[in-house]
Every structure is written in C-alpha cells, then in structure tokens.
Amino acid sequence: MKALELQRVEKSFKKRRGEVVKALDAVSLSVGKGEVVGILGPNGSGKSTLVRVISTLVTPDAGRVEVFGVDAVSHPKKVQRSMNRVSVEASFFKKLSAMENLLYGAKLYGVTSREARPLIQEILDNIGFARKRATEPMEHLSRGMQQKIALARALLTSPVLMLLDEPTTGLDPRSKKDVQAFIRRIREAHDSSILLCTHDMQEAEELCDRVGIMVDGRILALEEPEGLKRRYASDPGGPPPTLEETFMAATGYSVEEASAEGDEG
C-alpha cells in the first residue's frame, strides 16, 4: 500500500472575469512509505493546489486521492489524522506566543500541555529556534521564525504523511539547513512519507528520492534526480546537467523566474 496515491486528479478555478483556469490537469503520482517525493515548478504551476487537494482543503473535480488506501474525498476526517501540512501561508493567533500556538495545536490532536511541552522544546532546539523567543507574540517574529513554528506545529503529532509546501521559504541559510536536517531526522525516526513542493533545486536534490517537474497543472516527469537529469540532457554523451539546468530545459523557466511568476502555486 502506498502512503499517497493520486489518479488523474483534476481541479479548475473560475477567475473574476469568468475565465476558467485548470490548476490540476490529470495529475497522477504516488509516494511510497518512508519515501520523499519532491515537486518542482514555477509559481502558478499548481503545486499549492495539489497540496490543498491532498490535505482535503479543496475537493478535486475528478480523479482519486488515496492516503494509506483510504479515499480522501469520501473520508476526509480519517485521512486528516494521518497527515500534516506546512505551507508558506501558515496561520496563527498572532497575539499569542509561539508556545501558546503550539500548545493549542497539540490540544487539537489530543495531546495534553504536560505531554506537549517537552516535545515542543525538543523540536524547537532541533530546528534552531531560541527557547526565549518562544514566549514572544507571533506578530513580533520574522516570517522565517514563523515558518519554523509552522513546521514545529506539524511535527508535534509525528505525522506519517507530511505535506511540505515551500517549508524553507523566507529562512536564512543557517535556518534552512537546520530545517532540512530536521526533516531528514523525522523521516528516519518515524519512517514518515513526505511530499515536498519547493523552488529550491538543492533542497530537492538533497532531500528527495524522486523529483517531479510540474508546469501548467501537469507533471511532466517524476523519477530519481539522476534519471531526470538524463531525460533532459542536451548532450547524452556529455556530463549530466545540474537539476537547475534540467528544470530550465523542461519548463523554459529559470529558478528566479520560477519563484516570481504567477499567482497560484
């Protein structure tokens, strides 16, 4: 049984002027147990819609989404218990402290404050978040620090399926490495399955077993990084291209353009 399986999933949205935009176009993919699958794509490619559909925040127009063999559309509450999502637009109670937000999140999953506090401290230490800052209101923290708290909140319940939508966006290089290292440890300790949507080519190459390239709601290819490079190599007999060069060959976008284009991720 796969941790996650999508079969020809489609989702369209109607814009203000009546224009219909297809965010997901017959998307099929799977994530095995303990596997990390990365999805690369420019903003507007459908990555964030993909994560919202899997996490049951958005209902697909067609296709099938299964989480550990359970239909996510028919049984959303059941699949929600086995996964957690970290996204760039994570929401918090801004007047409450980081610790209060984390304790509240733990309580929603049935974890008492007494159980949660030592776990929160361990997670914050592992992602390089200073304990003294945890008592400050969220509105006083930088976007990068808020992103770390979003990740900590998702990890509190040791989810078996993690949906990471640009988890290191807004982080400084040191914090980014802290978070990436912690993602590796979570995977190893809990055998978690991870779907990672990112613009960061190095992050995808270092963390992912397989990498997919997504453009205009379609997944062009999904395979191991080295296989992906060979697929888009301009000179089959020459040295393999970098993942960034592969991305450019497949999409026509540079990394800078990919992070700046479009509205819907």
- The pair of structure tokens assigned to 110 is 């049935």
**CA–CA separation, 174 and 119 (whole Å):** 22
Neighbour-count burial for 124-152, b at 16+ CB within 10 Å, e otherwise = bebbbbeeebbeeebeebeeebbbbbbbb
- The pair of structure tokens assigned to 158 is 């040791």
CA 22, 220, 58, 166 dihedral sign is negative
Q: For the chain, which residues make up each domain, given as ranges?
A: 4-82+159-258, 94-158
Neighbour-count burial for 7-43, b at 16+ CB within 10 Å, e otherwise = eebbbeeeeeeeeebbbbbebebbbeeebbbbbbbbb
- Fold for 4-82+159-258, please state it: Rossmann fold (3.40.50)
> Closest Cα to residue 172, out of 128, 135, 140?
128
> Closest Cα to residue 53, out of 44, 42, 40, 64?
64
Q: What is the pLDDT along the chain (265 residues), one digit of tens a residue?
A: 899 999 999 999 988 787 888 999 999 999 999 999 999 988 888 999 999 999 999 999 999 999 999 999 999 999 988 888 877 666 788 899 999 999 988 887 778 888 889 888 888 887 778 888 999 999 998 877 887 888 788 777 766 899 998 888 777 888 788 778 878 877 887 778 999 998 888 889 889 999 999 999 999 999 999 999 988 888 777 788 888 889 888 888 776 666 665 445 5
Count of C-beta atoms within a 10 Å radius of residue 159: 21
